[in-house]
Amino acid sequence: MKIAWGVTGAGHLLLETFSAFDKISKFADISVFFSKAGEEVANMYGLFGSIHKRFPSFYLESQEGSSFPSSGLFSMGKFDTLVISPTTSNTVAKIAHGISDTLITTIVSQALKGNVPVIIVPTDFRAGTAKTKLPFIVKNSYCLDCQNVCIALDVCKYDAIWLNGDKKAHIDYLKCVGCGDCLIQDCAAISFGDEINITILEKDVENVKKIAEILGITVLEHPLQILEILNKISLEKKKKLKNEDLSTEFKAKIESVKL
Ligand SMILES: Cc1cc2nc3c(=O)[nH]c(=O)nc-3n(C[C@H](O)[C@H](O)[C@H](O)COP(=O)(O)O)c2cc1C
């Protein structure tokens, strides 16, 4: 089974999706497609490198032009299913309104045109409050000025930590690769994975409902459900292939009777 996995710029459900794909890779070949924001956010959570290492077949929006040539793979029958997880409210809104101006929205559109089933796991599934985890942050109230030497800054190989005028540390999120080297015992200011509550907006949930009505798209609430649905698609495909084989066999039999 050949699966295309699209990653958008969402921190919510990113780790859970990575674990689900780790399991899926035991029975499927996986190629990964990253939106520009997806690449950045996966880096912030320290997952970009791990995903690249685990799934070397890779397509980056940041390295494609405006026409997204890799989306042609979906018309050429190269994939059995496309899974977008996690899917930002931005990407969901674009799909709901027929816009394809990013790598991810374009592969969704090409997959639908090529009759490839599309599975979408949105970050904003249900209105109300949801818990989500933050990437690496600096809690400036714990910044002790460290006699003008910031140990977190010193240890960062990527120059992602800098001090502003008041000697407080800050993270440059476009440089941070989430390696975690700055989580040192003597510094209480850096932390990772802090939970916060976010409000899921009604308008984003409305867009999720819209895409769930598009023929060819299945919307799931959690990445763990991807495994279940892929098993179902694989069984249906096997059944279809078996029926096709049987009908070819049947046709051949009729031909031989005619002769
Ligand atoms: C650390 C971080 C986490 C984010 N998490 C989410 C998220 O969970 N859901 C979401 O809709 N947007 C999230 N965003 C905002 C998106 O990255 C932003 O809207 C981006 O333009 C989406 O582009 P894309 O849909 O092409 O990937 C996050 C941004 C950052 C910096």
**Residue 147, pLDDT score:** 64
Atom of ligand 1 nearest to the CA of 173: 31
Cβ atoms of 161 and 152 closer than 8 Å = yes
The shares of helix, strand and coil residues in the chain, as percent rounded to the nearest 5, are 45, 20, 35
Does ligand 1 come within 6 angstroms of the Cβ of 88? yes
**Residue 258, pLDDT score:** 63
What CATH number does the domain located at 136-192 have? 3.30.70.20
Interior angle at CA 61, CA 217 and CA 178, nearest 5: 100
Q: Which of 124-128, 163-167, 211-215 has the lowest mean pLDDT?
A: 163-167
Residue nearest to atom 10 of ligand 1 (CA): 88
Residue nearest to atom 17 of ligand 1 (CA): 9
**Residue 241, pLDDT score:** 79
Query: What Å distances lie between residue 8 and 138, 191, 245, CA to CA?
Result: 25, 24, 39
Atom of ligand 1 nearest to the CA of 12: 8
Confidence band, pLDDT 50/70/90 cuts, at residue 208: very high
Confidence band, pLDDT 50/70/90 cuts, at residue 254: low
3-state DSSP assignment of residue 83: strand
**Residue 195, pLDDT score:** 96
Atom of ligand 1 nearest to the CA of 198: 8
Parallel, antiparallel, or unpaired: how do β-strands 128-133 and 195-200 relate?
A: antiparallel
What CATH number does the domain located at 2-128+200-251 have? 3.40.50.1950
**Residue 167, pLDDT score:** 80
Torsion of CA 53, 54, 55, 60, to 10 degrees: -40
pLDDT in tens, 75-107: 999 999 999 999 999 999 999 999 999 999 999
Nearest to 112 by CA among 211, 194, 13, 245: 211
Q: Is residue 43 over pLDDT 90?
A: yes
- Report CA torsion sign: 215, 220, 224, 228: negative
Quick one: how far is CA 109 from the chain centroid? 17
Nearest to 134 by CA among 10, 7, 11, 42: 11
Its pTM stands at 0.90
Tokens 């997959």: give the residue.
111
Does ligand 1 come within 6 angstroms of the Cβ of 87? no
Distance, in Å, from the CA atom of 49 to the CA atom of 8, rounded to the nearest integer, reads 16
Q: What is the side-by-side order of every strand in the sheet holding 118-122?
A: 58-60, 29-34, 2-7, 81-87, 118-122, 217-219
pLDDT in tens, 64-77: 999 999 999 999 99
**Residue 146, pLDDT score:** 73
**Extents of the domains making up the chain:** 2-128+200-251, 136-192
